[in-house]
Amino acid sequence: MQMKEHILDTPPLKRHVVFNPEVAAAFLQLVVPSVKMALSSALRHRCGFFGLLSQMSSSVSHGRVSTVLLSQMRNNSTSPKIKVDLNQSTGVAVLSMQSPPVNSLSLDFLTELCISLEKLEMDRACRGVIITSSQPKVFSAGLDILEMYGKSPERCGEFWRAVQEMWLKMYGSNMVTIAAISGSSPAGGCLMSMTCDYRIMADNPRYTIGLNETLLGIVAPFWFKDTMVNTVGHRTTELALELGLLYSPEEALKIGLVDQVVPQEQLLATATETMTKWLAIPDHARQITKSMMRKPTIDKLTSNREADIKNFVSFITKDSIQKSLHMYLEMLKKRKA
Ligand X SMILES: CCC/C=C/C(=O)SCCNC(=O)CCNC(=O)[C@H](O)C(C)(C)COP(=O)([O-])OP(=O)([O-])OC[C@H]1O[C@@H](n2cnc3c(N)ncnc32)[C@H](O)[C@@H]1OP(=O)([O-])[O-]
Beta-bridged to residue 83, according to DSSP, are 96
* Nearer Cβ to ligand X (91/188): 188
- Is residue 75 within 8 Å of residue 69, measured between CB atoms? no
Let me know if 213 is a catalytic residue.
yes
Of the ranges 70-78, 108-116, 144-152, 291-299, which one interacts with ligand X (CB under 6 A)? 144-152
Burial of 98 (C-beta count, 10 Å sphere; 0-12/13-18/19+):
middle
Of 156-185, binders to ligand X (CB under 6 A) are: 184
* Nearer Cβ to ligand X (230/311): 311
**Contact string 214-253 vs ligand X (x = CB under 6 A):** --x-xxxx--------------------------------
Half-sphere exposure of residue 277: CA atoms within 13 angstroms, side-chain side:
8
Let me know if 188 is a catalytic residue.
yes
Answer yes or no whether residue 72 interacts with ligand X by CB under 6 A.
no
The least distance separating ligand X from the CB of residue 246, rounded to whole angstroms, comes to 8
Of 181-220, binders to ligand X (CB under 6 A) are: 184, 186-188, 212-213, 216, 218-220
SS3 271: helix
Q: Which of 95, 107, 212, 267 does the annotation list as catalytic?
A: 212
* Nearer Cβ to ligand X (134/272): 134
The least distance separating ligand X from the CB of residue 45, rounded to whole angstroms, comes to 23
C-alpha to C-alpha distance for 85 and 80, rounded to whole angstroms: 13
Let me know if 143 is a catalytic residue.
yes
For 2, which DSSP code?
P
Q: Which of 91, 128, 157, 188 does the annotation list as catalytic?
A: 188
Neighbours of 195 (CB within 10 A): 21
Answer yes or no whether residue 137 interacts with ligand X by CB under 6 A.
yes
* Nearer Cβ to ligand X (327/332): 332
Let me know if 39 is a catalytic residue.
no
Closest by CA to 144, choosing from 111, 177, 178, is: 111
The least distance separating ligand X from the CB of residue 76, rounded to whole angstroms, comes to 13
C-alpha to C-alpha distance for 126 and 38, rounded to whole angstroms: 25
Binding residue for ligand X (CB under 6 A) from 95, 131, 143, 192? 143
Paired sense of beta strands 82-87 and 92-97, if any: antiparallel
Answer yes or no whether residue 26 interacts with ligand X by CB under 6 A.
no
SS3 337: coil
Answer yes or no whether residue 334 interacts with ligand X by CB under 6 A.
no
End-to-end CA distance of the chain: 45
For 175, which DSSP code?
S
* Conformational region of residue 322, where left means phi above 0, alpha means psi within -120 to 50, and beta covers everything else: alpha
The site for ligand X (CB under 6 A) is made up of 101-102, 104, 137-138, 141-146, 184, 186-188, 212-213, 216, 218-221, 332-333, 336
Residues annotated as catalytic are 143, 188, 212-213
